[in-house]
């Protein structure tokens, strides 16, 4: 695969939705909009970073990611949706108010992932192994476009954890090392051989 000698990736999580505020799991099955706070977060991110010469914007196929970078898209920057960047599917617990039972199930599954059981999943959901496999396709597409030197990627919390492991060649069992906030930024530089992490969940633009 031909890849560019150098590339900068600005990877952000989408802005806040009402489900985020209410602590309801969204996953890939809930195509929710940003709430008022989420739109304000998007405004602040644009105000802080609109001067950067982004060559391309990639988002997931879910509307909350596109809404988070809509002002950049409206300014004329090329945009492409990649469903391979969608959030993990949380199956039967998506879109439902959290109960104590659901919280325990969620924590149990995440612990299994941390212990190396990466094919484990919520019923009718998706495993981390399955998610990262599709993310590999997205990464190949992003990296083969050699003229795109500075790239903005908007995706989702759990998906971002997996994607960062992929970029930095870190085992998926280390996913929990990557924290994420709504409209938090991870900045990475590719030097032709490997990625270097320059910023970790940076939220300076939201202050």
pLDDT at 21 over 80: yes
Q: Residues 73-80: what's their mean pLDDT?
A: 98
**CATH T-level fold of 7-90+128-206:** Rossmann fold (3.40.50)
pLDDT in tens, 130-139: 999 999 999 9
When pLDDT is cut at 50, 70 and 90, the band that residue 3 belongs to is low
Across the range 40-62, mean pLDDT stands at: 98
Query: pTM for this structure?
Result: 0.96
Q: How far apart are CA 26 and CA 62, in angstroms?
A: 11
Q: What are the distances in angstroms from CA 97 to CA 24, 104, 126?
A: 5, 14, 20
Q: How confident is the model at residue 189 (pLDDT cuts 50, 70, 90)?
A: very high
pLDDT higher than threshold 80 for residue 119: yes
The pLDDT-based confidence of 98 (bands split at 50, 70, 90) is confident
Q: Is the pLDDT of residue 181 over 80?
A: yes
Mean pLDDT of 48-72: 98
For 129-178, how does the pLDDT look when each residue is reduced to its tens digit (9 = 90+)? 999 999 999 999 999 999 999 999 999 999 999 999 999 999 999 999 99
Q: How confident is the model at residue 17 (pLDDT cuts 50, 70, 90)?
A: very high
Spatial separation of the C-alpha atoms in residues 123 and 24, rounded to whole Å? 17
* Cβ contact 164:170 at 8 Å: yes
Is 184 a residue whose pLDDT tops 70? Answer: yes
At residue 4, the pLDDT reads 62
Query: Which burial class, exposed, middle or buried, applies to 152 when counting CB atoms under 10 A from its CB (0-12, 13-18, 19+)?
Result: buried
Contact 17, 87 (CB under 8 A): no
């Amino acid at each position: 695969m031909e890849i560019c000698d150098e590339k900068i990736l600005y990877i952000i999580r989408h802005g806040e939705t009402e489900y985020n505020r209410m602590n309801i799991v969204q996953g890939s099955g809930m195509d929710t909009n940003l709430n008022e706070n989420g739109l304000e977060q998007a405004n602040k991110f644009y105000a802080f970073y609109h001067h950067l010469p982004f060559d391309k914007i990639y988002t997931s196929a879910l509307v909350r990611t596109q809404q988070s970078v809509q002002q950049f898209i409206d300014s004329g920057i090329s945009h492409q949706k990649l469903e391979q960047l969608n959030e993990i599917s949380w199956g039967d617990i998506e879109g439902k108010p959290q109960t104590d039972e659901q919280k325990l199930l969620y924590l149990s599954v995440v612990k299994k992932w941390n212990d190396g059981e990466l094919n484990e999943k919520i019923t009718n959901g998706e495993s981390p192994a399955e998610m990262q496999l599709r993310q590999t396709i997205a990464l190949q597409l992003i990296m083969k476009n050699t003229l795109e030197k500075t790239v903005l990627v908007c995706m989702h919390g759990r998906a971002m954890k997996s994607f960062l492991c992929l970029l930095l060649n870190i085992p998926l069992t280390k996913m929990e090392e990557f924290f994420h906030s709504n409209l938090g930024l991870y900045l990475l530089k590719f030097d032709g051989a490997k990625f270097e992490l320059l910023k970790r969940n940076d939220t300076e633009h939201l202050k």
